Structure 1
Amino acid sequence: MNDPRIIVALDFNSAADALSLTNKLNPRLCRLKVGKELFTAAGPQLVEKLMLQGFDIFLDLKFHDIPNTVANACKAASSLGAWMVNVHALGGRKMLMAARDAIPQGSSTKLIAVTLLTSMDQDDLADIGLQGQPEQIVERLARLTDDCALDGVVCSALEAAHLRQLLGDNFCLVTPGIRPSGGQADDQKRITTPLQAIRNGSSYLVIGRLITQANEPLLMCQQLNAEITSLTI
């Protein structure tokens, strides 16, 4: 069964720019992430076009609202055919369980929760009144997510090894903040390289600029897949 580990972040503000990139990619080598910017600009019509190209879509809209509203949003995302959809774990137990219950039994849509954004550090946590180190809060939210029977979490690859040990092999760990060795951190603080993320136990790597800004995006995808495969065979 084909199960690409790379999820390409389509961080664009128009359907045309997104399709210009995806026309150069191969759905056997990667999945795609559609986030708030692109979804707001292009809507579900673009998601449908990308699925017609053969890509699995991670709808990264981070739902965080009252339980009924989040449940309805998750149900709509599943009906759209999203391969994966996410919510904020900080929405709490009732919201997480409502989201889980809203996705029909037998649906192939994976439901995961965001623990802490990879842009946040200790100072940010203090600003909003969260006590503890980032890794402690991530562990608490990941345990809650698992307890509510969701499929996994979005987390930093730096936290993946601990969470893999804690929550087992079947718990899905989706890790953004992936940068090449010696690369720029840009707007993220808790980052790591693709190879280290896989070693740490990441299930899927969300990769943006490394692929989207490459001179040959398909070649970059092929190279990254070859490196990942060398660690998993």
Structure 2
Amino acid sequence: MVRVEQRDDIGDGVVLITLDRPDRRNAVDHETLLALVDAQRQHADARVVVLTGAPPAFCAGADLQGVREDVFSADLRRVLQGFTEMACPVVASIDGPALGAGAQLVAVADLRMSTPGSVVGIPAAKLGLVVEQWTIDRIAREFGASVARGMFVGAEVYRGERLHAMGAIHRLGHLDDALAWAGELARLAPLSLSGHKIALEAIAAGRVDDADAAAAKAAAWASEDAAEGRRAFLEKRPAVFRGR
């Protein structure tokens, strides 16, 4: 269903979350959504989260069997917002189709890595459906307005290499590359990453002078990590950040 692994061999505090329903191409059902909520809660103190899918797909969409659509949609929204509210960076590692709910999960990641041939899209118009505005807004902001129109009005799917050329995918690569990237991120200052993420999410919500962003900035500047960063710079050595 969902596999969660602590990957301290990659970097301190790296957590790998794998959608593990390969027989359903990792389509998320209600049980999967609840497992993702639990993973977010259990690993709220992670330094980096990598989200991926077991081969052959990242996530091929939603599996609504056995649950009302309104209940499923509410829990999916809870999962999506949960990833945006995690203090740490969330990296999506895409290998294979990321369609429908899969594309939504990709859009809420802070950073995205994809294999060149993977495809991302929300073909709602082929199913006679309309996607909620929150998702449309997120796709437009993260992938660009032109890509969003292509996905929602043209029912287009986009290859990873094309999205990378447009800036919607940050790097091309496989899961091993994403984990190596997570190791790099885990060595950065957690309070800096968290503060910047809070500010970016506030800006996306239209809050320019956000109190939480201001508090996160103040906490980072007054932190032991900030002092360590200055010492390391003067001593010409890598800084060791502890998130305090």
What's the TM-score bracket when you normalise by the shorter of the two chains?
0.3 to 0.5
More contact order relative to length (CA 8 Å, sep ≥ 6): 1
The normalised TM-score by structure 2 is 0.33
Give TM-score, length-normalised by structure 1.
0.34
